[in-house]
Amino acid sequence: MAMPRVTADPTGIEQQLERVLRSRIFERAQRSQRFLRYLVESALAQPPVVPKEFTIAIDVFDRDTSYDPSVDATVRVEASRLRSRLREYYDEEGRDDPWLIEVPKGGYAVVLSERTPTESTPALGQPRMAAWAREPAPKAIPSPAAARKIGTAAYLSAACVAILVLGALFALRRERSPKPAVMASPPVSLAILPIANRTGDPALNYVTDGLTDDLIRQLSQVPALRLMARTTMFRYRDRSGDALAIGKALHVDAVMTGELRRNPDHLVMSVEVSRTADGSVLLDHEYIAGVDDLRIMQAEVQQDLITRLHLESSALDPGRKLHSVTSSPQAYQEFLEGEALSRSAAPLDLHQAIAHFERAVALDPQFDLAWSGLASEHVLLGLYFEPPREHMPLGRQYAERALRINPSLGEAHGSLGLIHLVYDWNLPAAEADMNSAGAETAAVSSLACTAHLMERSGKPHRAEEMLEGMLTYDPQSAALISELGCVDFYRGNYDAALRHYRDALEADPQTPVAYWGIGKTLNAERRYSEAIGVLRSFKQKNGFEPPLLIAETGYALGASGQREQALKVIRSLTDEGQHIFVDPYLIAVVYASMNARPATFSWLNKALQVRSSFAISLLSDPKWQTWRNDPQFAALVEQMLHSGTR
């Protein structure tokens, strides 16, 4: 095992460590502070120590001896986050510091060295490269300094966003080592298992699922409480009997189970919260509600959880008080039914969800979450199924209405950010909304490759750090793993992209995102035959084929010289367009693979006319690399950007 490498004076390193920990980037990142101090003190120990993952988990992150790194990715996630913060620190505040602290990938050995003048990062004021059209597609991960030089349109290239149909609707032995400095207590972690419907009425599944969702959503606003993500928790549906085992596997402090039963005149929900360390019961209570009013029960459960977990003093987001989300019991019931339908990938279900949300806001015009739900459903329809011009303006209207009621509502900021991104083509406005708390999570759950925006917004490694943090709460999310693949794809790091997309496919064999990601990455490497095989295997396994995968297959056929087969794909897409909305951009992509320029430009212009959600891909997708020196292509992109920011 590699030992820590120290080529600097220990006193100087200790001073450097304090300088890093006091920096803007680290000042509020207590977990990264604690981790970095621990690693540096290990390196300076006599003899030097390279801690193992198991030891770090126990000494730094308060795990117990049952820690299993194959289940809990906390150390790896925090190491990635620490590396990102160090890169950002030395790229900004620490660019002229005399000593360098590094934690190379592949282990936890610290490299401590004195820097020479040539190692200093260029000043932030250096001019950036202009003319996105002259910027070649990268073949390696750019350094932080190089990433800042990417030109205006590279920044604008949130392109990875435009992508997926149907799918995006979709976290040993102990050794002796230096003890870390005492830091503030970490948040209490809680897993809320799906509430079981024991009423005998399957029609009430929407109630139990909705209550589970709402508890996770509301309690996630408590700063001192860390909630496991809904997508992770619903993998454990109907496994409440294994609650303690699940809690230990997820390394949470407590786990909640609940059951809904029906008495003659009302509904009864029994809730139990247990401490995973010893199985002791923290809360065991029954809550009674009328069938037509579930709001009070929801609010009582939330308050009791806060009390029993001793979180009363934790300040809440000022934009959201922890109480019932609406004044109308009927509106709340409509909202729960709409949310249940919104999880579907079927357009008909999304339209039905809209009808429920519309009834909810009619009953309570101040119901911010219902307005946000309306925005989200219209955005999804405009992204994947129907003409954007029919839905994106409505999505904007409803998101803005939700934000007038609750300016801090992350879901609404996420919807508005996506509209700015893929409909307005206004990247500065999109970034402003994505920076709101919770907006990134909401946007990523709606659209593949949203995180790519952060990578191109002048914040190198921000996308990767954000996704690694989200994976802490949802460690088996195929969507989040695919997002990592997308970030690496647009960095030109195709090996890493393929690895992430294949991991996502293993996590969810039915998601089209992973198939598309593998296919487009193989196409970028000119491995066309392999790409065609992967893309076509989706239909073989699932019985249908989204237009995006059809178009990616057509691109591989055209690029590999199989012109007649590529034209056949175009005919199938245009025929399908007689019955459903098929984005013109997808047809343009197939023509582009054959270098059929007049037809390509014709279909690209049609894509701009319908305000295609895929058009943003023109800015950075490797498919268009050889086109960016074409004056006609440059003019088309300038037209798009001008229409998006005026």
pLDDT digits (tens, 9 = 90+) for 399-425: 999 999 988 888 888 888 889 888 998
pLDDT at 240 over 70: no
Residue 123: pLDDT band (50, 70, 90) is: very low
Q: Please state the rounded mean pLDDT for residues 240-244.
A: 77
Lowest mean pLDDT among 82-91, 165-174, 192-201, 503-512: 165-174
Q: What is the pLDDT of residues 147-195, one digit of tens each?
A: 322 232 222 233 333 332 223 322 222 232 333 333 334 568 898 998 9
**Model confidence at 361: pLDDT above 90:** yes
- Looking at the predicted structure, is the pLDDT value of residue 434 above 50? yes
Range in 241-255, 582-596, 626-640 the model is least confident about: 241-255
Instruction: Out of 57-61, 170-174, 217-221, 638-642, pick the least confident.
Output: 170-174
- List, for residues 27-73, the tens digit of each pLDDT value: 777 788 889 999 988 888 878 888 888 889 888 888 777 777 665 66
| Predicted local distance difference test score (pLDDT) of residue 436 | 64
Averaged confidence pLDDT in the chain: 77
452-491 pLDDT, tens digit each:
555 554 444 555 566 666 665 566 677 778 778 888 888 8
Burial grade of 386 (CB within 10 A; 0-12, 13-18, 19 or more): middle
pLDDT for res 464: 59
Which pLDDT value is given to residue 51?
87
Q: Which amino acid does the sequence have at 142?
A: P
pLDDT of residue 159: 33
Which residues are CB-contacts of 168 (< 8 A; sequence separation ≥ 6)?
384, 445, 446, 447, 448, 479, 513
Q: Are 39 and 3 in contact (CB under 8 A)?
A: no
Residue 439 banded pLDDT, cuts 50, 70, 90: low
Q: Pick 542 or 356 by higher pLDDT.
A: 356
Q: DSSP state, 591?
A: H
Going by pLDDT thresholds of 50, 70 and 90, the confidence category of residue 136 is very low
Starting at the earlier edge strand, list the strands of the sheet with 99-102.
5-6, 111-114, 99-102
Mean pLDDT of 364-387: 91
| Helix ranges restricted to H, 129-194 | 144-148, 152-156
List the alpha helices (DSSP H) in 1-111.
10-21, 30-44, 53-59, 74-91
